[in-house]
Structure 1
C-alpha cells in the first residue's frame, strides 16, 4: 500500500516539525528562567510570528489519525498512530490551559504585569510539558511508520487465511 507509506512519511514529518519549536522552548528554559524582567521581555520578542507554527501540531494530529485509519489490518496496528494523535492533542490542551492564558495576560509578552514571574514559570513549564508530549508523539508515530504493511492482495484476508 504505497499510499500508506506516503501518509506515514507525512505524519512523521509533520510531527517532527511540531517538535522543532517545542524542543527549542525546552532547550531555552534554563536560561530564560534565570533572566531578569527586561532581558526576559526582550527574549520573548523573538517569538513574534511563531503562532504560525501552530499549524504543525494540528496537521500532525490529522495525519496521525488518517494513518491510524489506514493501519486497521494486521500485521499493522492503528494504536501507535492513534497514540501519537492523542499525545499531540494533549499538547494542544496544555497550550490552551496554561500557555495561552499567559500570552493573554501579557499581551503576547509585550508587557509584564506585576506577577510576571509566575506567568513566566507557567509559560515556560507548559512549553516543557508540550515538548515532552510532542517527543512521545514523535516516537509513537515513528513506530507506526515502521510497522509492516498489510498484504491486501486479492484472495488474502486479515490473519493470513485464504478466503
Structure 2
C-alpha cells in the first residue's frame, strides 16, 4: 500500500472517530444540567443508540490503522514514525478510558431500559459524561499527534 493512501485512510478514520469523541466533549456542559428524564431518555433510549457501538468500532479501527501506518513508515524509513506511534498510543489510552469509565455505566444503563432508574442516576451520569469527555480529549491529542506526523521532515543524512 502506498504511504499516501495509507495516511489518507488513517486520517479519515481518525477524523471520524474524533468527531464522535469531540461531540461528547462539546455536549458535556449542557448534558450535565439536564434533569433525569431528559438525560436518561436521550442516553438510554435515544440519541446514543448507534454512537456507542459505532464510536468504539471507529476508534478500534483507527488504532489498528495507526499501528499499521507506523509500521509502514518505519519500514520505508519515512518521516513521522514517532508521532504516528504516539497517536496510536494516545487513541488507545482514550479507548482504555472508555472501557474503564464508560462501558461499566453502559452495562448499568442497559438495566434502565425496562426497569426503574435508581436514585443515584446523577452519579452514573457524571461517570458516563466525564469518561466520554476524557476519551474525546485523548482523541483530540491523538489527532494532533497524527497531524504533527505529516509535518515532520526526515533529517538529511550527512555524508
Normalization by structure 2: what TM-score?
Answer: 0.86
- Give SS of 1:159's match: coil
- Contact 2:80 2:153 (8 Å CA) reproduced: no
Shift of 1:145: 3.0
1:143 is the counterpart of 2:141: no
- Contact 1:16 1:138 (8 Å CA) reproduced: yes
Unmatched runs of 5 consecutive residues or more in structure 1: 151-157
TM-superposition CA deviations, 1:24-48 (whole Å, max 9, x none): 1111111110011111112212111
Partners of 2:50 and 2:72 in 1: CA distance: 35
Equivalent position to 1:60, from 52, 62, 68: 62
1:7-156 to 2 correspondences below 5 Å:
7-44=6-43, 45-50=46-51, 51-72=53-74, 76-107=79-110, 110=113, 112-148=117-153
More helix by share: 2
- Contact 2:14 2:59 (8 Å CA) reproduced: yes
Unmatched runs of 5 consecutive residues or more in structure 2: none
Partners of 1:137 and 1:147 in 2: CA distance: 16
- Give SS of 2:89's match: helix
Higher CA-based Rg = 1
How many aligned positions are there?
A: 153
Partners of 1:49 and 1:114 in 2: CA distance: 26
Say what the alpha-carbon RMSD is for the aligned residues: 2.2
